[in-house]
Structure 1
Amino acid sequence: MLKSKRDYKTLDKVVYFSIIEKIKTGELKPNEHLTEERLSKELGVSRSPIRKAITALVAEGVLDYRTYSGVVVKDSLVDSTRYVQLLEVIELFVKATLEKIEQMETEISTTDLRNCIQSMDRASYLKDLDEYLFNEHQFFLRLIAHSGNPYYKDMAKKVFFNITYFAVESINQINEDMRDRTIKHLNQIVDLLDKQAFQEANAEIKKLLGEFVVNAFR
C-alpha cells in the first residue's frame, strides 16, 4: 500500500524524499550518475541511510543499477502527456478488474471504498491536497485489488507513485470544484458497484478519468 508522506520519519526516508525532490526540481537529471559518497556530502548524513534510500528508489523504478555505471537517475517526470498514458494504464486495470468480478460473480465489499471517499471529502474540506490525493489513489488501488491479480496492483502502485511524486505541479493542483465533482463521481461508482452494475460503473470511471485528463491540460 502507498503511504502518505507524513508517515515517513526515519533518516533514510528523509534522504529518500530529498533525492526525489532533487530529481523533480531538475537538480538531478536523467542518466546522471549517483554515488553514496556524493549524496553523503550533499545531504550531510552517513552512507547507511543513503544506501537504504537508494535501494528503495531502485525498487520503485526511480533509480537504476547499470553495469559499469553504478546507480543512475531514470526519467521519471510526469508531464501532461505522460499523465494521460498513466491514466490509460489505470483505466485498463479497472476495466479488467470489473470484467473479472462480473464473470466470476464475485461479491465485492465497498466499505473500504466508501471510507476512502469519506477521507477525501474530509481532506478536501481541510484543503489538505496530499491527503486528498493519497485517498483518491487508495480508492483505485483497493478497487483493482479485487482483481486478485498482484501484477495489476503492483503496476497501479507504481503509476500512482509517479503521479504523486513526479507529476508537474499543475496536475496535482486540483481546485475545489474538481474535488467536489470527483467525490460525486466516486459515490456514484460505489452505488453502481453495490448494485452489481459493473459495466455502468466502468463507464462512470472512464468518464471520471477523462475529467482528470481535461484538468491536467488546463
Structure 2
Amino acid sequence: MDKQNYEKKAYEMMKEKILNGQLRTGDRVPENMIAKELGISRTPVRRALVMLETEGFLTIESNRGAFVSESKVTVGKFIEMLEMLEVLVINTMRKMENKGIYFEPQPFNKRLTVMEDRLKSGNNTGFVEEGWQIIFDFVTYMGNGYAENVVRKMSIDFLTKAPKEIILIPFNNGTYLMEQFTRVNELLGVKRFDEIEQLVRELVNYFIIKTFR
C-alpha cells in the first residue's frame, strides 16, 4: 500500500471515530494507537490529522497533540456563523467603499446562475455550496487572509457538521436568498453601500428568525 493510501486509511478511520462518537469533543486523538491499530507508521497518521484539522474536525496544539473540535453545528452555532458573516460582509463592503475598490459583477452573476440551476433541480447541497462560495469570493475583496480562512472554515463546518434540518434552511428559502444576493450584486455595481448594509442586516435577521421556526 502506498503512502497516500495509508493517509487516506488513517483519515477515514479517525473521521469515522469522530462522527460516530467514539472520539468526542475535547478528546485527545491517540496518534500512537491509531498507527498501531492500522499497522502503519505515525507519519501518515500525522498527515491525516492535518487534513482533519483543515476540515475543522480537529485542533492541533503545539507540544500537546490533536484534540477533537466541536463535532456538530447546533442552532446556536449556526446563528453565530450568520452574525459573523454579517460583520465580515459589511466590513468588506465598507473597505471597498473607502478604498475605491472596483467590484467585478460578472463572476458573481455566473455563480448566481449556477445557484438558480441547482435550486430548480433540487440539488440542495450544491445550492448551499455555491452560496458559501459567493460569500467567500466577496470577502476576498477585503484582502484579509484571516477573514478568508474564517469563512472557509465556517463553510466546511456547516457542510460537514450541520444536521440536515439546518443545512436545508438556506435551500428551503432559496428563492428569497437568490433575490437578495442578486439585489446586493446590483447595488454593488452602483455603489449604494448604505442600502447594501441595510439589506445584509435584514437578510441575516431573516435567517435567524427562520432558524427558530
TM-score, normalised to structure 2's length?
A: 0.83
> Which residue of the partner structure matches residue 212 of structure 2?
217
The amino acid that maps onto 1:74 is: S
Deviation readout 1:105-124 (Å, 9 max, x if unpaired): 11110112112211111112
Call closer, same or farther: CA 1:80–1:18 in 2, change over 3 Å. Answer: farther
Deviation readout 1:81-138 (Å, 9 max, x if unpaired): 1111121111111111111111111111011211221111111222222211111001
> Which residue of the partner structure matches residue 201 of structure 1?
196
Unaligned runs of 5+ in 1: 1-9
Matched-pair contact (CA < 8 Å) for 1:63–1:72: yes
Establish whether residue 157 from structure 1 lines up as the match of residue 145 from structure 2: no
- Alignment equivalent of 2:23, drawn from 21, 28, 46: 28
> Which residue of the partner structure matches residue 141 of structure 2?
146
Residue aligned with 1:72, SS: strand
The amino acid that maps onto 2:88 is: F
Matched-pair contact (CA < 8 Å) for 1:120–1:136: yes
- Alignment equivalent of 1:53, drawn from 41, 48, 56: 48
Identity %, equivalent residues: 22
Q: Distance in 2 between matches of 1:112 and 1:175?
A: 21
Unaligned runs of 5+ in 2: none
Question: Number of residue pairs matched?
Answer: 208
Call closer, same or farther: CA 1:175–1:83 in 2, change over 3 Å. Answer: closer
Matched-pair contact (CA < 8 Å) for 2:170–2:177: no
Matched-pair contact (CA < 8 Å) for 2:119–2:174: yes
The amino acid that maps onto 2:81 is: L
Q: Distance in 1 between matches of 2:171 and 2:57?
A: 31
Q: Distance in 1 between matches of 2:182 and 2:39?
A: 46
> Which residue of the partner structure matches residue 6 of structure 1?
none
Question: Following TM superposition, by how much is the alpha carbon of 1:141 offset from its aligned partner in structure 2, in angstroms?
Answer: 0.6
CA RMSD, 1 decimal? 2.7
Q: Distance in 1 between matches of 2:90 and 2:107?
A: 19
Q: Distance in 1 between matches of 2:96 and 2:187?
A: 13
Query: More deviation in 83-92 or 18-27?
Result: 18-27
The amino acid that maps onto 1:180 is: T
Largest Rg, 1 or 2: 2
The amino acid that maps onto 1:129 is: N
Deviation readout 1:63-98 (Å, 9 max, x if unpaired): 133577532212242101111112111111111111
Question: Following TM superposition, by how much is the alpha carbon of 1:50 offset from its aligned partner in structure 2, in angstroms?
Answer: 3.9
> Which residue of the partner structure matches residue 106 of structure 1?
101
> Which residue of the partner structure matches residue 95 of structure 1?
90
> Which residue of the partner structure matches residue 64 of structure 1?
59
Call closer, same or farther: CA 1:88–1:177 in 2, change over 3 Å. Answer: closer
Matched-pair contact (CA < 8 Å) for 2:128–2:170: no
The amino acid that maps onto 1:206 is: R
Call closer, same or farther: CA 1:67–1:186 in 2, change over 3 Å. Answer: closer
Q: Distance in 1 between matches of 2:39 and 2:177?
A: 42
Matched-pair contact (CA < 8 Å) for 2:55–2:153: yes
The amino acid that maps onto 1:75 is: E
The amino acid that maps onto 1:149 is: N
Q: Distance in 2 between matches of 1:14 and 1:217?
A: 39
Q: Distance in 2 between matches of 1:15 and 1:117?
A: 38
Matched-pair contact (CA < 8 Å) for 1:170–1:216: no
